[in-house]
Protein backbone atom coordinates (compact mmCIF):
# COMPACT_ATOMS: atom_id res chain seq x y z
CA UNK A 1 0.00 0.00 0.00
CA UNK A 2 1.17 3.52 -0.83
CA UNK A 3 -0.33 6.79 0.37
CA UNK A 4 -1.33 8.87 -2.65
CA UNK A 5 -3.41 11.92 -3.43
CA UNK A 6 -6.44 11.11 -5.53
CA UNK A 7 -4.98 12.86 -8.60
CA UNK A 8 -1.83 10.74 -8.29
CA UNK A 9 -3.87 7.53 -7.91
CA UNK A 10 -5.75 8.41 -11.10
CA UNK A 11 -2.46 9.04 -12.92
CA UNK A 12 -1.11 5.71 -11.69
CA UNK A 13 -4.21 3.96 -13.01
CA UNK A 14 -3.83 5.64 -16.42
CA UNK A 15 -0.16 4.72 -16.61
CA UNK A 16 -0.66 1.09 -15.59
CA UNK A 17 -3.51 0.62 -18.05
CA UNK A 18 -1.57 2.24 -20.91
CA UNK A 19 1.31 -0.15 -20.25
CA UNK A 20 -1.08 -3.12 -20.06
CA UNK A 21 -3.03 -2.33 -23.24
CA UNK A 22 -1.44 -0.62 -26.24
CA UNK A 23 -4.90 0.24 -27.61
CA UNK A 24 -5.43 2.84 -24.86
CA UNK A 25 -4.75 6.46 -25.74
CA UNK A 26 -5.76 9.78 -24.16
CA UNK A 27 -7.18 12.92 -25.69
CA UNK A 28 -8.41 16.20 -24.27
CA UNK A 29 -7.69 19.87 -23.71
CA UNK A 30 -4.28 20.59 -22.15
CA UNK A 31 -3.69 16.98 -21.11
CA UNK A 32 -0.26 16.79 -22.78
CA UNK A 33 2.43 19.41 -22.16
CA UNK A 34 0.36 21.14 -19.46
CA UNK A 35 -0.42 17.88 -17.67
CA UNK A 36 -4.18 18.39 -17.36
CA UNK A 37 -6.25 21.04 -15.60
CA UNK A 38 -5.94 19.10 -12.33
CA UNK A 39 -2.46 17.60 -13.00
CA UNK A 40 -3.82 14.08 -13.48
CA UNK A 41 -2.01 13.45 -16.79
CA UNK A 42 1.25 15.14 -15.80
CA UNK A 43 4.27 13.29 -17.23
CA UNK A 44 2.31 10.91 -19.45
CA UNK A 45 3.14 12.76 -22.67
CA UNK A 46 6.87 12.42 -21.94
CA UNK A 47 6.49 8.70 -21.22
CA UNK A 48 4.08 7.63 -23.97
CA UNK A 49 4.51 10.26 -26.70
CA UNK A 50 2.13 12.26 -28.85
CA UNK A 51 0.57 9.21 -30.50
CA UNK A 52 -1.01 8.17 -27.20
CA UNK A 53 -1.43 11.49 -25.34
CA UNK A 54 -3.12 13.99 -27.64
CA UNK A 55 -3.87 17.64 -26.91
CA UNK A 56 -7.06 18.75 -28.65
CA UNK A 57 -8.72 22.02 -29.61
CA UNK A 58 -11.43 23.47 -27.35
CA UNK A 59 -14.27 21.54 -29.00
CA UNK A 60 -15.96 19.10 -26.63
CA UNK A 61 -18.36 17.64 -29.19
CA UNK A 62 -15.46 16.99 -31.56
CA UNK A 63 -13.27 15.47 -28.86
CA UNK A 64 -15.98 13.04 -27.77
CA UNK A 65 -16.85 12.27 -31.38
CA UNK A 66 -13.25 11.29 -32.10
CA UNK A 67 -13.28 9.12 -28.99
CA UNK A 68 -16.48 7.36 -30.05
CA UNK A 69 -15.14 6.71 -33.54
CA UNK A 70 -11.85 5.36 -32.21
CA UNK A 71 -13.67 3.07 -29.79
CA UNK A 72 -15.91 1.77 -32.57
CA UNK A 73 -12.77 1.00 -34.58
CA UNK A 74 -11.27 -1.17 -31.84
CA UNK A 75 -9.18 1.25 -29.75
CA UNK A 76 -9.67 2.08 -26.06
CA UNK A 77 -9.71 5.89 -25.83
CA UNK A 78 -10.02 8.06 -22.75
CA UNK A 79 -11.47 11.54 -23.26
CA UNK A 80 -10.86 14.19 -20.60
CA UNK A 81 -13.33 17.09 -20.37
CA UNK A 82 -12.27 19.95 -18.10
CA UNK A 83 -15.58 20.14 -16.23
CA UNK A 84 -18.87 18.30 -16.28
CA UNK A 85 -20.61 21.55 -17.22
CA UNK A 86 -18.68 21.65 -20.50
CA UNK A 87 -19.96 18.17 -21.35
CA UNK A 88 -23.25 19.80 -22.36
CA UNK A 89 -21.50 20.71 -25.60
CA UNK A 90 -21.00 17.00 -26.25
CA UNK A 91 -24.31 15.79 -24.84
CA UNK A 92 -25.67 14.67 -28.20
CA UNK A 93 -22.55 12.60 -28.88
CA UNK A 94 -22.64 10.99 -25.44
CA UNK A 95 -26.37 10.33 -25.16
CA UNK A 96 -27.35 9.59 -28.76
CA UNK A 97 -24.19 7.84 -29.92
CA UNK A 98 -21.98 6.46 -27.13
CA UNK A 99 -24.90 5.27 -25.00
CA UNK A 100 -27.04 3.84 -27.81
CA UNK A 101 -24.89 2.50 -30.64
CA UNK A 102 -24.57 -0.99 -29.14
CA UNK A 103 -28.35 -1.29 -28.82
CA UNK A 104 -29.19 0.34 -32.15
CA UNK A 105 -26.70 -1.88 -34.02
CA UNK A 106 -28.20 -5.04 -32.50
CA UNK A 107 -24.95 -5.69 -30.64
CA UNK A 108 -22.68 -5.31 -33.66
CA UNK A 109 -21.00 -2.13 -32.39
CA UNK A 110 -19.42 -1.47 -29.01
CA UNK A 111 -18.10 1.82 -27.66
CA UNK A 112 -15.49 1.03 -24.95
CA UNK A 113 -14.84 4.69 -24.18
CA UNK A 114 -13.89 6.36 -20.88
CA UNK A 115 -14.96 10.00 -20.46
CA UNK A 116 -13.41 11.69 -17.42
CA UNK A 117 -14.99 14.88 -16.06
CA UNK A 118 -14.42 17.12 -13.04
CA UNK A 119 -17.48 17.99 -10.98
CA UNK A 120 -18.58 19.68 -7.78
CA UNK A 121 -18.08 22.88 -5.83
CA UNK A 122 -15.62 23.96 -3.16
CA UNK A 123 -12.95 25.36 -5.48
CA UNK A 124 -14.43 28.87 -6.27
CA UNK A 125 -14.90 28.32 -10.00
CA UNK A 126 -18.41 29.80 -10.30
CA UNK A 127 -21.61 28.63 -11.94
CA UNK A 128 -20.35 27.28 -15.27
CA UNK A 129 -17.71 25.01 -13.71
CA UNK A 130 -18.93 23.79 -10.34
CA UNK A 131 -22.16 21.83 -10.45
CA UNK A 132 -22.71 18.16 -9.63
CA UNK A 133 -24.57 16.60 -12.54
CA UNK A 134 -23.83 12.92 -11.98
CA UNK A 135 -27.53 12.11 -11.81
CA UNK A 136 -28.04 13.51 -15.30
CA UNK A 137 -25.83 10.85 -16.87
CA UNK A 138 -27.17 8.11 -14.58
CA UNK A 139 -30.55 8.69 -16.27
CA UNK A 140 -29.38 7.14 -19.57
CA UNK A 141 -29.21 3.37 -20.17
CA UNK A 142 -26.02 2.33 -21.91
CA UNK A 143 -23.69 4.41 -19.74
CA UNK A 144 -21.73 3.44 -16.65
CA UNK A 145 -21.56 6.35 -14.18
CA UNK A 146 -18.68 6.24 -11.69
CA UNK A 147 -18.14 8.68 -8.78
CA UNK A 148 -15.13 7.81 -6.57
CA UNK A 149 -14.72 9.42 -3.16
CA UNK A 150 -11.16 8.37 -2.32
CA UNK A 151 -7.79 7.57 -3.89
CA UNK A 152 -8.04 3.77 -3.77
CA UNK A 153 -11.48 3.68 -5.37
CA UNK A 154 -10.39 6.26 -7.94
CA UNK A 155 -7.59 3.97 -9.09
CA UNK A 156 -9.53 0.72 -8.93
CA UNK A 157 -12.65 2.07 -10.61
CA UNK A 158 -10.72 3.80 -13.41
CA UNK A 159 -8.81 0.61 -14.17
CA UNK A 160 -12.13 -1.26 -14.23
CA UNK A 161 -13.56 1.36 -16.62
CA UNK A 162 -10.84 0.66 -19.20
CA UNK A 163 -11.78 -3.03 -19.17
CA UNK A 164 -15.49 -2.47 -19.79
CA UNK A 165 -17.10 -2.84 -23.21
CA UNK A 166 -19.47 0.11 -22.67
CA UNK A 167 -18.93 3.84 -22.29
CA UNK A 168 -18.06 4.93 -18.76
CA UNK A 169 -18.70 8.45 -17.47
CA UNK A 170 -16.01 8.85 -14.81
CA UNK A 171 -16.68 11.85 -12.57
CA UNK A 172 -14.10 13.28 -10.14
CA UNK A 173 -14.90 15.87 -7.47
CA UNK A 174 -12.60 18.88 -7.78
CA UNK A 175 -12.38 19.45 -4.02
CA UNK A 176 -10.88 16.02 -3.26
CA UNK A 177 -8.14 15.71 -5.90
CA UNK A 178 -5.60 16.47 -3.16
CA UNK A 179 -7.05 14.18 -0.49
CA UNK A 180 -4.63 11.39 0.44
CA UNK A 181 -5.39 7.74 1.02
CA UNK A 182 -3.84 4.28 1.05
CA UNK A 183 -3.77 2.77 -2.45
CA UNK A 184 -2.89 -0.86 -3.33
CA UNK A 185 0.30 -1.25 -5.36
CA UNK A 186 -1.01 -4.27 -7.25
CA UNK A 187 -1.29 -3.38 -10.98
CA UNK A 188 -4.22 -5.81 -11.23
CA UNK A 189 -6.19 -4.06 -8.46
CA UNK A 190 -9.67 -3.14 -9.69
CA UNK A 191 -12.92 -2.13 -7.98
CA UNK A 192 -16.01 -3.68 -9.52
CA UNK A 193 -18.90 -1.52 -10.66
CA UNK A 194 -22.20 -1.76 -8.80
CA UNK A 195 -20.78 -2.55 -5.37
CA UNK A 196 -21.36 0.09 -2.72
CA UNK A 197 -18.96 0.32 0.22
CA UNK A 198 -20.00 0.51 3.88
CA UNK A 199 -17.39 2.91 5.26
CA UNK A 200 -18.76 3.00 8.79
CA UNK A 201 -21.11 0.58 10.54
CA UNK A 202 -24.01 1.89 12.61
CA UNK A 203 -27.39 0.93 14.00
CA UNK A 204 -29.44 4.15 14.22
CA UNK A 205 -29.48 5.77 10.78
CA UNK A 206 -28.16 5.09 7.27
CA UNK A 207 -26.38 7.99 5.55
CA UNK A 208 -25.88 7.50 1.81
CA UNK A 209 -23.48 9.58 -0.29
CA UNK A 210 -21.27 9.51 -3.35
CA UNK A 211 -18.22 11.43 -4.51
CA UNK A 212 -17.52 14.51 -2.35
CA UNK A 213 -20.65 14.10 -0.20
CA UNK A 214 -19.18 10.93 1.33
CA UNK A 215 -16.76 13.09 3.31
CA UNK A 216 -19.61 15.21 4.67
CA UNK A 217 -21.44 12.04 5.64
CA UNK A 218 -18.42 10.70 7.52
CA UNK A 219 -17.86 13.98 9.37
CA UNK A 220 -21.56 14.08 10.27
CA UNK A 221 -21.35 10.53 11.63
CA UNK A 222 -18.50 11.61 13.91
CA UNK A 223 -20.56 14.54 15.20
CA UNK A 224 -23.61 12.33 15.74
CA UNK A 225 -21.54 9.90 17.78
CA UNK A 226 -21.12 12.64 20.38
CA UNK A 227 -24.91 12.51 20.85
CA UNK A 228 -24.88 8.73 21.14
CA UNK A 229 -26.21 8.17 17.61
CA UNK A 230 -24.47 5.50 15.54
CA UNK A 231 -24.71 6.28 11.84
CA UNK A 232 -23.95 3.78 9.08
CA UNK A 233 -22.24 5.51 6.13
CA UNK A 234 -22.51 4.06 2.61
CA UNK A 235 -20.44 5.19 -0.37
CA UNK A 236 -22.34 4.28 -3.56
CA UNK A 237 -19.18 4.43 -5.73
CA UNK A 238 -21.22 4.00 -8.93
CA UNK A 239 -24.64 5.42 -9.78
CA UNK A 240 -25.06 3.13 -12.79
CA UNK A 241 -24.96 0.24 -12.08
CA UNK A 242 -26.49 1.10 -8.70
CA UNK A 243 -26.15 -1.16 -5.66
CA UNK A 244 -29.49 -0.68 -3.93
CA UNK A 245 -29.17 -4.05 -2.21
CA UNK A 246 -26.55 -2.74 0.20
CA UNK A 247 -28.59 0.40 0.88
CA UNK A 248 -31.84 -1.48 1.49
CA UNK A 249 -30.17 -3.99 3.82
CA UNK A 250 -28.75 -1.11 5.86
CA UNK A 251 -32.08 0.74 6.06
CA UNK A 252 -33.82 -2.43 7.24
CA UNK A 253 -31.28 -2.50 10.07
CA UNK A 254 -31.29 1.20 11.04
CA UNK A 255 -34.90 2.10 10.08
CA UNK A 256 -33.89 5.60 8.94
CA UNK A 257 -32.16 7.03 5.87
CA UNK A 258 -30.53 10.32 4.91
CA UNK A 259 -29.20 10.95 1.40
CA UNK A 260 -26.44 13.52 0.91
CA UNK A 261 -25.43 15.04 -2.44
CA UNK A 262 -24.04 18.30 -3.79
CA UNK A 263 -26.60 18.32 -6.59
CA UNK A 264 -29.81 20.35 -6.43
CA UNK A 265 -32.66 18.59 -4.60
CA UNK A 266 -35.23 19.28 -7.36
CA UNK A 267 -34.73 16.51 -9.92
CA UNK A 268 -31.53 15.32 -8.22
CA UNK A 269 -30.31 11.72 -7.98
CA UNK A 270 -31.25 11.70 -4.29
CA UNK A 271 -34.89 11.64 -5.34
CA UNK A 272 -34.31 8.35 -7.19
CA UNK A 273 -32.59 6.85 -4.14
CA UNK A 274 -35.41 8.05 -1.88
CA UNK A 275 -38.06 6.56 -4.15
CA UNK A 276 -36.34 3.18 -4.28
CA UNK A 277 -35.92 3.10 -0.49
CA UNK A 278 -39.61 3.94 -0.05
CA UNK A 279 -40.60 1.24 -2.56
CA UNK A 280 -38.38 -1.50 -1.19
CA UNK A 281 -38.12 -0.76 2.54
CA UNK A 282 -41.24 1.24 3.45
CA UNK A 283 -42.33 -1.17 6.19
CA UNK A 284 -38.96 -0.82 7.94
CA UNK A 285 -38.87 3.00 7.98
CA UNK A 286 -39.54 4.83 11.25
CA UNK A 287 -39.38 8.23 9.50
CA UNK A 288 -39.55 9.58 5.94
CA UNK A 289 -36.30 9.49 3.95
CA UNK A 290 -34.47 12.81 4.28
CA UNK A 291 -32.45 14.49 1.52
CA UNK A 292 -29.61 16.95 2.18
CA UNK A 293 -28.68 18.70 -1.05
CA UNK A 294 -27.22 21.84 -2.57
CA UNK A 295 -29.27 25.03 -2.54
CA UNK A 296 -31.46 25.69 -5.56
CA UNK A 297 -29.25 28.43 -7.03
CA UNK A 298 -26.45 28.70 -9.62
CA UNK A 299 -23.12 28.17 -7.86
CA UNK A 300 -21.78 31.50 -6.51
CA UNK A 301 -18.17 32.51 -7.16
CA UNK A 302 -17.64 34.08 -3.72
CA UNK A 303 -16.14 31.44 -1.45
CA UNK A 304 -18.44 32.09 1.53
CA UNK A 305 -21.52 32.07 -0.67
CA UNK A 306 -20.32 28.90 -2.39
CA UNK A 307 -20.08 27.06 0.91
CA UNK A 308 -23.51 28.39 1.87
CA UNK A 309 -24.88 26.87 -1.35
CA UNK A 310 -23.39 23.44 -0.63
CA UNK A 311 -24.64 20.92 1.94
CA UNK A 312 -22.60 20.69 5.14
CA UNK A 313 -22.10 18.06 7.82
CA UNK A 314 -24.17 20.29 10.14
CA UNK A 315 -27.06 20.02 7.66
CA UNK A 316 -26.74 16.24 7.77
CA UNK A 317 -26.72 16.21 11.57
CA UNK A 318 -29.81 18.42 11.65
CA UNK A 319 -31.63 16.08 9.26
CA UNK A 320 -30.76 13.05 11.41
CA UNK A 321 -31.78 14.68 14.68
CA UNK A 322 -35.11 15.72 13.16
CA UNK A 323 -36.05 12.09 12.53
CA UNK A 324 -34.85 10.55 15.78
CA-CA distance, 142 to 138, in Å (whole number)? 9
What gap in Å lies between CA 57 and CA 319, rounded to an integer? 46
Grouping H, G, I as helix, E, B as strand and the rest as coil, residue 265 is: coil
Q: Give dist(CA 197, CA 217) in Å, integer.
A: 13
Separation CA 285–CA 300 (nearest Å)? 36
CB proximity list for 88: less than 8 A, separation 6 or greater: none
Specify which residues 4 forms β-bridges with. Answer: 181
Report the alpha-carbon distance of residue 63 to residue 27 in Å, rounded: 7
* Residues tagged active-site: 60, 129
CA distance 295 to 126: 14
**Residue 103: φ, ψ to 5°:** -70, -45
314 contacts 258 by C-beta, under 8 angstroms? no
Amino acid sequence: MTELRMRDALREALREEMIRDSRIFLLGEDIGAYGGSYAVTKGLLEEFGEERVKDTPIAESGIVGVGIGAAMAGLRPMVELMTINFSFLALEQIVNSAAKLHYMSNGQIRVPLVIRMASGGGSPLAATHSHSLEGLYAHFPGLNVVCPSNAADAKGLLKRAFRDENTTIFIEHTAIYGVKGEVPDDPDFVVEFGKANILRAGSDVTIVGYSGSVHQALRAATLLEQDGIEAEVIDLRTLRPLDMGTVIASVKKTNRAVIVEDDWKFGGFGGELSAQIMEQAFDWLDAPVARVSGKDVPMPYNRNLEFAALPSEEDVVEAVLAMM
